[in-house]
Structure 1
Amino acid sequence: MFENNHTESKPSSTTDKLRPSKLPGNGALPDEALASEMPKQGERNLTCLKDKYSLLRSVNDGELEPGCSLNSAAHHATCKYNWPSMLGAEHFPAYGEMVENPNLVEAMASKRRKIFEKNHTTRISRPPKAPRLFTDDDAPSQSSGRGLLLFIDDDKPQPLSATAVDEPSPSNLPGDEASPHQAVAPPDKRPNCDTPDQEEQKKTQTGETMAQFIAEMPKLLRLILSNEAGPEVGTLCSCESGQYRTVQCHDCFKYETSCEQCFVDRHQRNPFHWPRVWQPEGFYRKMDIACLLNNTYSIHVCSHGIRCRSPAPPQKVTVVDTNGIHSTRLSYCYCDGYPDYVEQLMNVRLFPATLRSPRTMMTFRVLDEFHEHHLASKKAAYDYVGALRRLTDGAFTPDVADPYLQFLLVMRIWRRLLADKHTGQAYNLSSFFPHRQPGSLVLFCFGCPEDGFNMEKGWENTPAEMKHLNQIQEMADGNYQLNAFAKNNDPNDVSLETANGIGYFPDEDVVKRYLKDTVEEQEKSTCNYLKVVNNQNQKKFKNMRISGVVNIACSHLIIRSSVNLNKGEGYTDLAWKHSLSHTRHNRDCSHHGTTDRMLSYDCMCQYCVNLVKRFTRNFPDLKHIAERVRCSIPALHIEGHKDRCKYEFHSAYIPGAGHFHGEGIETPWAELNQVGAATRQMNHGHRMGVITAHYTYWNWLKTVKMHITLADQYREAKELFEEKHEVFLRLCVSFEDRIPGWLTLEKMSPRLPNGIVKNIYEHSKSKAPSKEKVYQELLESSAKIQEIADTGDDTVLLLQEGLAIQHLQERVRGKLTLNQTETVQKDIRSRRNELTKHIEDFRILQAIVMPRVDKLVSALSSTEVEKEKLYLPSDIQASDHESLQLTMLAQMEQKVRLGELYDSMKSVQKAAKAYSVTHIKKREDERGTNAGLRSTLALKKIEVERDCCVADYNRARTALINLKFSGAHDIPPMSIADTYRRSTFNARQLGDSRRTDGSLFRLPALPAMTYADEVKEGSDEEGPIAGTLAVRRKRAVRKIKSKKEDNTTELKKEKGDGWIWTTALIVGANSSEDLAEYEEEGDRIQWFRAREEMERWRETIEQIQATFLNIIRGHHFMQKSWSKMADLRAAPAANTLYPHTAWSMGHAAYARRQAKMYEQFYINSKNTYARLWF
């Protein structure tokens, strides 16, 4: 009734449409007056005025009914027309007051009419004032009495925007009397009411949603409060028992208020819902179900029905559930004789805190919920139990039972039981994995090759050059946040997850024996990084029983083992040994040539020195693995090592390593460090159980999405391999004649145990030139362009003299960018004098060779000598060459410019190399202020010379374009970015595997093979099982991120003038011998590094494909194993760990569910593999 309070006929024209019908009632305005005073804002302003006057007319005429109608009107007007701003917020009482006092409604209606008439009359007498646009941020205050006029389209509803103007009155509506509708926009071109700021700052979806909620907050708060009680309370219950409705349940959905007996009858299967009982004082009070029926009700745990025929006397117990802590009554069942308390409680999904006369118990639901909350959010049990107590009673929490200690103990047992359940050890699933540790609780990696689990038959025949397909990549790292304080511990409180080495931590007895038999060795550090070995701050380990942990994980981020540390990382051997002990195969060593194992550790340069010796002494059965393992240092940590370590332990140089950066071991610490604050206060057994649960949770998260992670890695590896392969092919063309000699050098060089070839990826320090020598060689090379041949031909002499002048002009302009010291200014004056003499001689010769350009030269204005235009043929439009008789000279200049282009490119290459060497020398060798300033000046000079060489190249290219040289446009321009070349003097830098050299050092782009767009993932089709079934909204298809959005476009053609980039990179015979050798080394290093980068990404692609196949086979194996367990008709054979042989339908149901889950994993992995187009 508020949006359409008036009716009007369809307008015949725009003008008629803008004329409102006469508004009857107290708020009526004459039609002519309104039309004559119509604002320039157009039809939407007028429409809003009509709607508002209609609303005011309804209020004034008393058409609104008392009570609900007026409340709805007030609420509607508040939201739509900012009614409090029009009439003042003080005139709006709370909703509750209007409900309780209906007379207040009539009084408020009368008061609002008077206020409106007063404001309306006052405002009519005000002088005309143009309306001002504003937003919500500068809207008028509610006490100002100025209303908000909203623009509303008369044809279609519009959302309430933040744009508004001051409310106009009939006397202050601006307009032109002679042309009252002059400013009215036509219907298809309505005026834009948004300010520029609003157009630039559009609201985000979150901001828009938040604004909607803010506007509706009074309504939402009213609805929340109205749920505290309903009008049905105190009426007769529908059960016709004559009892009144006094009990409500907020745990049920849409529960109808009932009497106590009805509540009890309806909650016999939900006894832990809180009844809310109506009190005589007029409010609901939360109680336990045992308080109903005059405190006579008790919960029965009988398995033969809801109510037991032979119940035991009720006992007062404490039950912990997700909605609070219940102090209630419970009766055991005597139907089958003397009850087994534990079995009866477990049958109704209650877990007892003790096994003898339990009085405290937890529902399975609360144990599962806390387990998931703790793993995901790292919430402590103390906080969780405290929250449950406050949920029970937030005001009188101390009166609520505190089951914290019992909850801790039960959770330790619950974690171990869940581990046995999920890993299948309750089914003796180890019988399907005879090569694994019996009863193992470790979640193994599905991607790492494991004989007897996920490897194909005949894998032993893999060629040695393809052994990286059967490679296990492991990482080791220590963490000092998962420590433990030295506290009094119960010696009988043992860990449940370490016995017999079944968990991630080795058996405690094994650790004690190892520490007893092992002599602590203090190895001398040879690398500046090894503070992890010798330089740990011992003060931080004060009062610590355990200083941290050292973990072993695979490259798929699956944690394999962990060992507690005691002041340093001296336990890595034991951690790696325990990782190897999870799988034991009794077989000969004939397959060693077809498998590979890598180990990455941040202090590997010291750790591997005596690795074989230590394993021979302490773990002789694993000696053969220590002898064959290939060692590396993580790509980020190696930056802190000496250069020797970078060339001997970087995985980028290890054949068959793939892109194994080794830093993945760091990723779990971000999650596990959050647990450290709690575990350091726990006793030893509890701490081990909590950390083990988090290890398993981390591994599971990585397992379920491993196929997605691998797919992303494959796409990245494929793109980078194509890029690196293209770069390598370019370099092969550039260095074609020198590659055979480099390969011979590679064969003659020694190899390290990890496969790295020494001395081919680094410079010989003795051949590195000094800054002075580099600068002099650079100047000599650059000066060659200025030399003028004495040919006796005036035409050639003119062109060469002109090029030499332009070269010298560029150097003067470069000198002007330097710090203008007295020496620099003197050099500039000298060069300007030299330029002046050259230009004078050039003008004399130009008058002979190019007589017709005399008018152009005479018209030149006086300017600095380095900016003077020479008017060579390339400086004159090609269309004027014939009239000026410059056609032949232009053809000759083309040839000269080609030579200049060639020489400039070589000069840029030399300058870029010189800049790189000088920059490194400055950073590493120069110390002190004076030396630093001198080095900075030398570096700046080389930088200026490099920029001048780039300018020479671009000037030659521009001249060829102006001369209409065929193919000139195919010559690429050059920028400073194109001179980038990764330093061959330095070791590899972090991120080099994803960077390439500038185009100056590479060939033109080779055509790439087209390939079809990959099939997008994210299908909404469900497989045989989708976990928890639910009615889900259809998800939008997730776009696969790729740098190549269009892979089917036409291939780019190879550029025709590729000779520029295939030219030899060394200047030639006039360079000094050591500088030439240094540049030769640089080219060789660049080629070898480019080859290794390409090879690593190729190996990565192949390893990802092999890993995918391992995952698919592993999921299929698990699905078959669980299916066999589900088909059993009796329990598996008893063993020492699981002597209980009872079998139930629940055993088979859970096994079938696990089998179906792994079947879905198998299908998902297989589908993802198929989409990747291997």
Structure 2
Amino acid sequence: MQDYPFLGWIPEVPQYLQELLRRDGRQGATEICLRCQIEQRGVRGQALYRCRDCDEPDLLCGTCILDNHQSRPLCRIEMWNGQFFERYSLRQLGLVVQLGHGSHDSCYTPQMAPTDFVVIDTNGLHFVNVLYCACTKSGDAGPYRSQLLRHGWYPATNAEPKTCVTFRCLEMFHTMTLQGKVTTYDFYNGLEKLGNNTSIKDNLNFPHTDRYKSFMRCIREWRYLKMLKRAGRGHDRERGVIETHPGELAIVCPACPRPGVNLPDDWKDAPLEWRFLYIVFLAVDACFRLKRRLVSSTKKDPDLVDGKAYFTEHEPFRKYLLTVTDQKEMSTCSGLAALDHANTKYSKGYSETGKGLVCCTRHEFVQPNGVVSLQKGERRYANMDYAFASALRHVSADLPKVVSYDIVCQWWKNLAARLKTLPSHIRINIVLHMYRFVIPKLHIHGHQTACRLTYALSYLVGAGRTDGEGIERAWANMGPVATSTVEMGPGGSHDTLEDHWAGWNWGKLIGLGDLLLRRLLAALEQRSVHKAALKEFSRGQESYVKAWAKRIIDWERDNSQPNPYELPENGLTEAKVRLQLAEEDEEAAKKDGDTNHASDVSPAAFISEGLDLEDVGIAKAEAQFAKLTDAQQMSLMTRRAKLRRGITRLRRAQNIHTPTAIQAAEAWALQVKDSDDRLAELVPLFLPSSLSPAQCASIPSSTCDTEARLRHAQCQSALDGVRSFLFIKTGLISYRKSHVRHQGATTRSRSLLERNEVKIQYHAAKYNMARRALIALLGVESVTWPLLRKKDLRLPEDSENLARRSQRKIRGKKRKNIDDETTPQQENDSEDAEVDERPLDARLSHLKRCREAMGDGYRQISWIWNSAGASGAMTDNELCEVLRVEWSKAYSRTKRWCEEVLLLKEEMRRTLVSFEHKADWWDMQVQGPLTDDEQLSEGASAYAKKQAHLYRSLAAECRRLWGAYASGSLPDPEDPDEVDVDVGLGLLVDEEPEIEEDLNQWVRSDDLCIDVNMEG
């Protein structure tokens, strides 16, 4: 029963229901108030009242329940009317709240608050009679708003407030909205329904007026005040709140390197091989779901935070955008989300089309001043550049940086020129040899091969196992907020997002202990696994391993060297073969010295023209089944006429080079009726590959050889096209999952996918047609290109994605099996059984699940990704190249896991030091009285001490969790597990006499440096 609690509860439902009904009655209470009898009052009242929020078991009279709630004026009470309990209020019984005095002190000249004074609490909305202090003690009590605040009620306005919200209600909403993304509207309406869950408004003793705007205003002010308080702005004796620095209210990452905070004084003197421990990992990305409609203005709805936390300062950013012209640099690489929106026109009615953000990649903290609003797509680069430079204000210029962005291959190209146009307050000296630009590991699958090699985190020295996708998790957390901020004004939207990012960063901060430990335990295990696997792999390649390792190290020092992870290009493309044939024609013409040929078209040009016409025919064949508009129909007819003219020219050339093709064409025409109505794309071209052996006998063998060469190249080019559009398909699907919402965007996304799918099918059809032609020319035995089936049109998956996918499948199976009914006896029988007597299909299903759990060891990758291409069995050199690349990848994986262990240990050390540094900072805020107000000074001192205790408690908890892992020192060179993988494998290669003096020998190129004067 313990595992299935509902089974034990269902039979008891009647009793539970009866107890609920019992509470709607008086439950045997006496008609005379027992409290009056206990206190021996002369007049004993009638017991008619009970409190819904207190735990008082007895019914009380009006006098007793009033005495009982002098300090609890917001409780909900009910009165027995002789038939049932109905709502009643303490105000109806005469309760008055006196402010400015203690519970046993009275005011001689109280001032009455408005009669419609409403207090919003966690249990609903309440009319309350309030008296302000206006007597001689009012100087100590303060103005009316201070009297309310000291009572724990937050006023909605400064002068003569009529609405207040209790501190506990504000705190409850704040926690609920950060944790569950509850909107202000839903929370307020929920409070209203606690008091009246019907539309009946027959009792004037309960609030029926809408106080939603007042509540929303209190919430915004409360959020801002809490950010100021937690940042210590109330303790600053020199600068006021107005002088808060940009980004000063943000919660910063304690695990990222910060000189002067968590790095040793001599960190710049660390050995070259350990400097990767001080890399700052940053991620840049845009989210197009966080839109905001064109409502209100900054004058009516200003930002309260305005650049003091995560967003950039509003006014400088607005002025900068006015100076930016359209930027229409489109990608030549992939079809990811940012590219789809780069020049979008779907921004009508929106003041902001999204948000751009910078966060630390490894720990996912939103960076101070690292968020900007996006407007029309044409200016998206300007916005992202501004966010990037603004966030870098808070990062030491001496630290090396790795920057990930899903379109970094296009974003960084002209970054130097664009950064020179930034305002002076964020213009910085940025030298690109201290930066490495990468693409996140998931998004990189949507890029072309060159990008996957150049911008891969997996091959970057010092990157560890950083995946670059952490920023996507930050966006996912903000997704539910988008539905409410889209209708807000500029200030309300930004302040709401600021608060949620503060909550996100705080959640990350208190979770670092568990996160870093979990990652370290996994990294230690994987480091051992991959080291052993690499050693085993290397044993079979002893004669090559040192040369392969040297090639990797050379490339890591100088990226202009050959990429060790890239396979040499296999086969010639169609364009290259055509160029070779043209050059051969030209050489033959020079050698013969005779340009007066019977035809102006050479055999190579004749075959090439035939293939071009065939290519057009493939593209047009789909159109005959499509529903076309009149304009599209006219365009199709024009192109068909052009194709017919091309076929006519081909026939003239065939009359010279392949006369038998003319005979075949005439015979085909006689068999087809209504020849004038034939579709041009369905007319056979009768190239040599489509003729019978007897018909080819009279054709020169060089003509057939020319077509065979072109067909081989055509297969290679078609496969390249299939691969490219498969990558684009992955990017489009990723975009749709992350960004597409609503019908219009979904339709556009589906149209993009459909157009991309047409291109995939076009290249696949082109490949299969070329393959059939080769079989006709050379015979089946001589053609090694495999048949391209629909199931082959898929992308390869890396081991991480496969592992995650397998784990999801396993969890899904487990959830599905929860419903299976298995008796204890059956479980014991299955444990003791030695022979599997399940049916064959059940055993096969179990075997499949086991193979899925093992990952890519059992997965068959589509042959289109094989290194040898489709051209057939690999030669010894090709096999060696495949082994080299696979060994290089295994080597890189092992190094990244070794780096990950060291990075995590360093992050643990930095986290502890950061917590202690923050605790010391709070201790400094206690020194001396804050003001002459003793009560204020005591409160400020108490809060500072509490915060210092909090951070020391966080540090103590991390030490308890991590134990010996938090050593706090550089790696031990004598520890075999800490040394570099090269040493562990005995792969040390001869070092160059001089080693470059920059981190990890990153490429230093003077033409890539940005030299911008520092101003402001």
User: Under a length normalisation based on structure 2, what TM-score does the superposition of the two structures give?
Assistant: 0.62
Task: Kindly indicate whether the alpha-carbon contact (under 8 Å) linking 1:643 and 1:987 is maintained by their aligned counterparts in 2.
Answer: no
Task: Kindly indicate whether the alpha-carbon contact (under 8 Å) linking 1:271 and 1:289 is maintained by their aligned counterparts in 2.
Answer: yes
| Partner residue in 2 for 1:544 | 350
| Partner residue in 2 for 1:872 | none
Question: Are 1:652 and 2:652 counterparts?
Answer: no
Q: Please state whether the residue corresponding to 2:133 is helix, strand or coil.
A: coil
| Partner residue in 2 for 1:223 | 19
CA distance in structure 1 between the aligned counterparts of 2:187 and 2:20, rounded to whole angstroms: 26
Q: Please state whether the residue corresponding to 1:1117 is helix, strand or coil.
A: helix
Shift of 1:767: 6.2
Counterpart selection for 1:723 from 498, 523, 529: 529
Q: Please state whether the residue corresponding to 2:130 is helix, strand or coil.
A: strand
Distance verdict in 2 for CA 1:769–1:343, change over 3 Å: closer
Question: Are 1:262 and 2:262 counterparts?
Answer: no
1:140-159 equivalences under 5 Å are: none
Question: Are 1:1162 and 2:968 counterparts?
Answer: no
CA distance in structure 2 between the aligned counterparts of 1:291 and 1:932, rounded to whole angstroms: 91
| Partner residue in 1 for 2:937 | 1144
Task: Kindly indicate whether the alpha-carbon contact (under 8 Å) linking 2:110 and 2:135 is maintained by their aligned counterparts in 1.
Answer: no
Shift of 1:397: 5.4
Q: Please state whether the residue corresponding to 1:270 is helix, strand or coil.
A: coil
1:769-780 equivalences under 5 Å are: none
Shift of 1:746: 4.9
Task: Kindly indicate whether the alpha-carbon contact (under 8 Å) linking 1:647 and 1:987 is maintained by their aligned counterparts in 2.
Answer: no
Q: Please state whether the residue corresponding to 1:285 is helix, strand or coil.
A: strand
Distance verdict in 2 for CA 1:728–1:302, change over 3 Å: same
Task: Kindly indicate whether the alpha-carbon contact (under 8 Å) linking 1:443 and 1:696 is maintained by their aligned counterparts in 2.
Answer: yes
1:318-329 equivalences under 5 Å are: 318-329=118-129
Q: Please state whether the residue corresponding to 2:220 is helix, strand or coil.
A: helix
Task: Kindly indicate whether the alpha-carbon contact (under 8 Å) linking 2:909 and 2:966 is maintained by their aligned counterparts in 1.
Answer: no
Question: Are 1:418 and 2:226 counterparts?
Answer: yes
Counterpart selection for 1:357 from 160, 165, 173: 160
| Partner residue in 2 for 1:153 | none
> For residue 425 of structure 1, what is the amino acid of its counterpart?
R
Question: Are 1:575 and 2:387 counterparts?
Answer: yes
CA distance in structure 2 between the aligned counterparts of 1:330 and 1:993, rounded to whole angstroms: 63
Counterpart selection for 1:503 from 296, 309, 319: 309
CA distance in structure 2 between the aligned counterparts of 1:217 and 1:1099, rounded to whole angstroms: 58
Shift of 1:1115: 0.6
Counterpart selection for 1:610 from 398, 408, 414: 414
> For residue 349 of structure 1, what is the amino acid of its counterpart?
G
Deviations 1:792-847 (A, max 9, x none): xxxxxxxxxxxxxxxxxxxxxxxxxxxxxxxxxxxxxxxxxxxxxxxxxxxxxxxx
Counterpart selection for 2:372 from 555, 559, 563: 563
> For residue 390 of structure 2, what is the amino acid of its counterpart?
H
Distance verdict in 2 for CA 1:310–1:412, change over 3 Å: same
Counterpart selection for 1:597 from 394, 401, 405: 401
Question: Are 1:287 and 2:88 counterparts?
Answer: yes
Counterpart selection for 2:440 from 634, 645, 652: 634
Q: Please state whether the residue corresponding to 2:128 is helix, strand or coil.
A: strand
Shift of 1:401: 3.0
Deviations 1:128-153 (A, max 9, x none): xxxxxxxxxxxxxxxxxxxxxxxxxx
Q: Please state whether the residue corresponding to 2:44 is helix, strand or coil.
A: coil
| Partner residue in 2 for 1:1087 | 887
| Partner residue in 2 for 1:302 | 100
Shift of 1:696: 0.5
CA distance in structure 2 between the aligned counterparts of 1:698 and 1:931, rounded to whole angstroms: 55
Deviations 1:283-304 (A, max 9, x none): 2222221101xxx432111323
Deviations 1:969-1003 (A, max 9, x none): xxxxxxxxxxxxxx9xx99843369889xxxxxxx
Q: Please state whether the residue corresponding to 1:575 is helix, strand or coil.
A: helix
Task: Kindly indicate whether the alpha-carbon contact (under 8 Å) linking 2:718 and 2:764 is maintained by their aligned counterparts in 1.
Answer: no
CA distance in structure 2 between the aligned counterparts of 1:385 and 1:217, rounded to whole angstroms: 33
Moved more, 251-260 or 1106-1115: 251-260
Shift of 1:1072: 12
Q: Please state whether the residue corresponding to 1:455 is helix, strand or coil.
A: coil
Root mean square deviation, CA, Å: 3.6
Q: Please state whether the residue corresponding to 1:1160 is helix, strand or coil.
A: helix
CA distance in structure 1 between the aligned counterparts of 2:294 and 2:498, rounded to whole angstroms: 20
Distance verdict in 2 for CA 1:600–1:411, change over 3 Å: same
Task: Kindly indicate whether the alpha-carbon contact (under 8 Å) linking 2:154 and 2:167 is maintained by their aligned counterparts in 1.
Answer: yes
> For residue 371 of structure 2, what is the amino acid of its counterpart?
S
> For residue 927 of structure 1, what is the amino acid of its counterpart?
A
CA distance in structure 2 between the aligned counterparts of 1:666 and 1:562, rounded to whole angstroms: 14
CA distance in structure 1 between the aligned counterparts of 2:547 and 2:256, rounded to whole angstroms: 39
Q: Please state whether the residue corresponding to 2:392 is helix, strand or coil.
A: helix
> For residue 1076 of structure 1, what is the amino acid of its counterpart?
D
Counterpart selection for 1:345 from 131, 134, 148: 148
Q: Which has the higher contact order (CA 8 A, sep 6+)?
A: 2
Task: Kindly indicate whether the alpha-carbon contact (under 8 Å) linking 1:300 and 1:311 is maintained by their aligned counterparts in 2.
Answer: no
User: Under a length normalisation based on structure 1, what TM-score does the superposition of the two structures give?
Assistant: 0.54
Shift of 1:657: 1.2
CA distance in structure 2 between the aligned counterparts of 1:278 and 1:204, rounded to whole angstroms: 41
Q: Please state whether the residue corresponding to 2:402 is helix, strand or coil.
A: strand
| Partner residue in 1 for 2:672 | none
CA distance in structure 2 between the aligned counterparts of 1:654 and 1:750, rounded to whole angstroms: 8
> For residue 190 of structure 2, what is the amino acid of its counterpart?
A
Distance verdict in 2 for CA 1:607–1:679, change over 3 Å: same
CA distance in structure 1 between the aligned counterparts of 2:433 and 2:717, rounded to whole angstroms: 43
| Partner residue in 2 for 1:406 | 214
Shift of 1:732: 2.5
CA distance in structure 2 between the aligned counterparts of 1:928 and 1:767, rounded to whole angstroms: 17
Distance verdict in 2 for CA 1:354–1:626, change over 3 Å: farther
Q: Please state whether the residue corresponding to 1:415 is helix, strand or coil.
A: helix
| Partner residue in 1 for 2:270 | 462
Shift of 1:582: 2.9
Q: Please state whether the residue corresponding to 1:388 is helix, strand or coil.
A: helix
CA distance in structure 1 between the aligned counterparts of 2:128 and 2:800, rounded to whole angstroms: 67
Task: Kindly indicate whether the alpha-carbon contact (under 8 Å) linking 1:602 and 1:633 is maintained by their aligned counterparts in 2.
Answer: yes
Shift of 1:438: 6.2
Shift of 1:462: 1.4
Shift of 1:262: 1.0
| Partner residue in 2 for 1:1077 | 877
> For residue 309 of structure 1, what is the amino acid of its counterpart?
C
| Partner residue in 2 for 1:368 | 171
Shift of 1:642: 0.6
Deviations 1:220-251 (A, max 9, x none): 12111212223224224432332111111121
Unaligned runs of 5+ in 1: 1-202, 771-916, 946-982, 997-1070, 1133-1139
Task: Kindly indicate whether the alpha-carbon contact (under 8 Å) linking 2:235 and 2:930 is maintained by their aligned counterparts in 1.
Answer: no
| Partner residue in 2 for 1:691 | 497
Q: Please state whether the residue corresponding to 2:875 is helix, strand or coil.
A: helix
Task: Kindly indicate whether the alpha-carbon contact (under 8 Å) linking 1:427 and 1:1131 is maintained by their aligned counterparts in 2.
Answer: no
Deviations 1:626-672 (A, max 9, x none): 55211000111111111110010001111111112111110022221
> For residue 103 of structure 2, what is the amino acid of its counterpart?
G
Shift of 1:536: 4.7
> For residue 1160 of structure 1, what is the amino acid of its counterpart?
S
CA distance in structure 2 between the aligned counterparts of 1:219 and 1:937, rounded to whole angstroms: 81
Identity %: 24
Moved more, 637-646 or 461-470: 461-470
CA distance in structure 2 between the aligned counterparts of 1:703 and 1:632, rounded to whole angstroms: 26
Distance verdict in 2 for CA 1:509–1:309, change over 3 Å: closer
Question: Are 1:763 and 2:606 counterparts?
Answer: no
Task: Kindly indicate whether the alpha-carbon contact (under 8 Å) linking 2:719 and 2:767 is maintained by their aligned counterparts in 1.
Answer: no
Counterpart selection for 1:234 from 5, 28, 31: 31
1:732-751 equivalences under 5 Å are: 732-743=538-549, 745-746=551-552
Distance verdict in 2 for CA 1:1126–1:257, change over 3 Å: farther
Distance verdict in 2 for CA 1:284–1:493, change over 3 Å: same
| Partner residue in 2 for 1:6 | none
CA distance in structure 2 between the aligned counterparts of 1:627 and 1:671, rounded to whole angstroms: 34
Task: Kindly indicate whether the alpha-carbon contact (under 8 Å) linking 1:724 and 1:1094 is maintained by their aligned counterparts in 2.
Answer: yes
Shift of 1:282: 2.5
| Partner residue in 2 for 1:101 | none
Unaligned runs of 5+ in 2: 202-206, 575-715, 724-762, 785-791, 805-870, 968-1016
